[in-house]
Structure 1
């Protein structure tokens, strides 16, 4: 008789161990950070059966989307198992009425926030990584919400999923990408070019101590409620096309990226809100997230889904009355120098370790707030010029971002340049910070960016 343990079983799940970065997200999501949501406002009612089949095609093309978390691995189901959860107009109307909405926030925005706080991974860690919900918001309009575990979906992956989903619906791209069928990419740590992350033992210890001590020197926005249960809320920052063009032109003229200007505007707005005297200065922590796909070995492409971002943590000293471009240039130069020194690879394990330590020991953070930085930004914005395709399928608007109410920054900026207009989802932990507090901060940031670009 053949040894059954040595022969592969038909249709048995494939597994891949988690990498260090993926494991840090595995640790953080149950606490409320790392729930990625893409919410789509559709003006044409989708056929539920057709949509289900479309999503199964998406899962067939990207095995990571049909995986289940089985610590410390991803277990890949051989067949799609996703089932759309659908809510009718009556249910959605009651849900929207029960959600706090003092500012008459549109249903798309409210349902995005609602989805950011749906956390199956908090009660059942061995859950699937991908969930889809369809909400009817009128007789013709609906909101389709795709909710994913961030360990398998960074911002680049989320943007690609949207493009591929639109292509599948319109069949303009001739079907799904097949390059990565039956394949799950390795973790980012396994793809870093040889020598890029080498760091002597003593240097690693020195950096860990340095990050820890610097965190004691940094300040944040004032905390409004440190005791109540937290959720993620969103404020949206939108600029006109002409304002966006002037801002990008001003950045290019100074040799800095948009992330430098956005981070600087946030730092100046936060410092201004404290009404300090002109000679007072404060230190703020900034996290810049980098999509490493083009720097890995082998190089990865956007259609290869997963989490392939790294981070650079820096501290910026801000004095009352500073100009945007002075702060932006200083901040971007520090980031650029760190990139040139490969700190996005060399410090990856250190930052993952500190993130897990903050999860285990909230008291290590100010007021046990779990805030590890003031603001996080992405090195490059997402670019979306697909309005014609969107109109064809009835996609009126969409928002995408990840939750931050566990460990993370006070405000996380998810920026997109959509048909020439800057559109940012700004996520924050509530009620640690209030919507009024963050809305005022974002309004001030927008004013700073517009005025400095004239």
Structure 2
């Protein structure tokens, strides 16, 4: 294209950090639908165009200009996103998702050797033919343009379009939306200069003290792999019931189970302390000015980073309470707003200097979780669309935690997409790790009171 649309806007600080992260392998957002029958390609293409008409940012391009070393979104005149029908013999839904997470059209955007402006779409849609006449439809998006909440909204809208034959009740968005920094209420992000400097030093120093899972291979990982953590309705209800009675949220219990499973995996001597870190992602839409909702496509999450000392023998629910309390204390102090620029800056520094991270693996924390799970309930559109399964997650083999948990409650069942960098961590290692987390969650939910890590050892 020549020239820019008048609607062009520069990316904000958080969006810029994702523009730096995605080429390295973290932030390729994938929403994948498993269908019981092949979709009508012509109709599906029309539905994607309709989604783009409701959400203009989905038909924008991301531009990198070496002259300004900057990024911006703009709306191209045409063409709309085209579907690619893949017939490459991928045999399972999970392998399709892994393939999509390493298919990165943005990888060379800021490496243009001709010193020219580089542009790429923010969304791609691919259809895969799977065994038994099943199909997978995958939305692959740049995380700077679409966070988890927005991606889940898009899936709901696409399923509604497929199930209803093209009818949808959504309201069209205007323009390319806002950068999150432009929507933070006045005063919420204020931090004195010296406090900012002290926090930056604190984050940097503490990072060297974090303990990690065993690295199977050191150095830069090259792919993201997936492990599912599924818990049935009865056990999920037990876990959520105890969460409610103890006044904690699900993310605290997931993080606690991860901490306990990580320490047990190392067979450490009793009372030997390790410091584990958790990054908790917050959907800020309801706290912004103007107030936004899931229909507002963009990246509107922030993060709170906390660490906890673990010595073995911890009770799951006590540890979950500590994790949850630390998070709420930080959130009450607006650290998800005041520290946003600090964490973005440190993220970019880690990308530029992998040697500053443990074994140059680009690991920044043990686990990342979301403050709230995605909640989905099957309706007539799901049945009409022939939807058998849905997974939403993002790649993590650039700068990121060792395990990122994308949790959802679907028809009452807990369903977590757990992604990790490979070969930094092996599939066998992470299947055991996530499997151990599941045993802890199920057993401690059934116990309904307490479950210490000595019991967790017996569960293996």
Band the TM-score falls in, shorter-chain normalisation:
over 0.9
Aligned partner of 2:75 in structure 1 is: 76
Matched, 1:163 2:156: yes
Aligned partner of 1:356 in structure 2 is: 348
- Residue in structure 2 matching 1:330, options 305, 313, 322: 322
Change (3 A) 1:243 1:45: same
Aligned partner of 1:23 in structure 2 is: 16
- Residue in structure 2 matching 1:271, options 263, 266, 283: 263
Q: What secondary structure does 1:354 align onto?
A: helix
Q: How large is the RMSD of aligned CA atoms in angstroms?
A: 1.6
Give yes or no for contact 1:365–1:371 (8 Å, CA) kept in 2. Answer: yes
Aligned partner of 1:115 in structure 2 is: 100
Cα distance, 1:76 vs structure 2: 1.6
Change (3 A) 1:44 1:76: same
Partners in 1 of 2:109 and 2:324 — Cα distance? 41
Cα distance, 1:387 vs structure 2: 4.6
Q: What secondary structure does 1:14 align onto?
A: coil
Matched, 1:379 2:371: yes
Q: Where does 1:97-136 land on structure 2 (aligned, <5 Å)?
A: 107-124=92-109, 126-136=119-129
Cα offsets for 1:302-326 (capped at 9, x unmatched) = 1010000000000111111211011
Give yes or no for contact 1:92–1:137 (8 Å, CA) kept in 2. Answer: no
Partners in 1 of 2:82 and 2:313 — Cα distance? 54
Structure 1: stretches of 5+ with no match in the other structure = 1-8, 97-106
Give yes or no for contact 1:293–1:300 (8 Å, CA) kept in 2. Answer: yes
- Residue in structure 2 matching 1:244, options 206, 217, 236: 236
Cα distance, 1:278 vs structure 2: 1.7
Partners in 2 of 1:122 and 1:79 — Cα distance? 23
Give yes or no for contact 1:14–1:78 (8 Å, CA) kept in 2. Answer: no
Cα distance, 1:171 vs structure 2: 3.0
Matched, 1:32 2:17: no
Change (3 A) 1:187 1:12: closer
- Residue in structure 2 matching 1:153, options 146, 171, 178: 146
TM-score, reference length from structure 2: 0.91
Partners in 2 of 1:117 and 1:189 — Cα distance? 29
Partners in 2 of 1:400 and 1:249 — Cα distance? 25
Aligned partner of 1:444 in structure 2 is: 436
Q: What secondary structure does 1:195 align onto?
A: coil
Give yes or no for contact 2:53–2:172 (8 Å, CA) kept in 1. Answer: no
Change (3 A) 1:350 1:38: same
Partners in 2 of 1:264 and 1:420 — Cα distance? 21
Partners in 2 of 1:439 and 1:387 — Cα distance? 32
Partners in 2 of 1:172 and 1:245 — Cα distance? 35
Give yes or no for contact 1:13–1:77 (8 Å, CA) kept in 2. Answer: no
Q: What secondary structure does 1:196 align onto?
A: coil
Q: Where does 1:189-208 land on structure 2 (aligned, <5 Å)?
A: 189-208=181-200
Give yes or no for contact 1:41–1:395 (8 Å, CA) kept in 2. Answer: yes
Partners in 2 of 1:374 and 1:323 — Cα distance? 19
Change (3 A) 1:27 1:251: same
Give yes or no for contact 1:108–1:398 (8 Å, CA) kept in 2. Answer: no
Structure 2: stretches of 5+ with no match in the other structure = 65-70, 111-118, 447-460
Give yes or no for contact 1:135–1:142 (8 Å, CA) kept in 2. Answer: yes
TM-score, reference length from structure 1: 0.92
Partners in 2 of 1:444 and 1:175 — Cα distance? 42
Aligned residues: 431
Give yes or no for contact 1:416–1:423 (8 Å, CA) kept in 2. Answer: yes
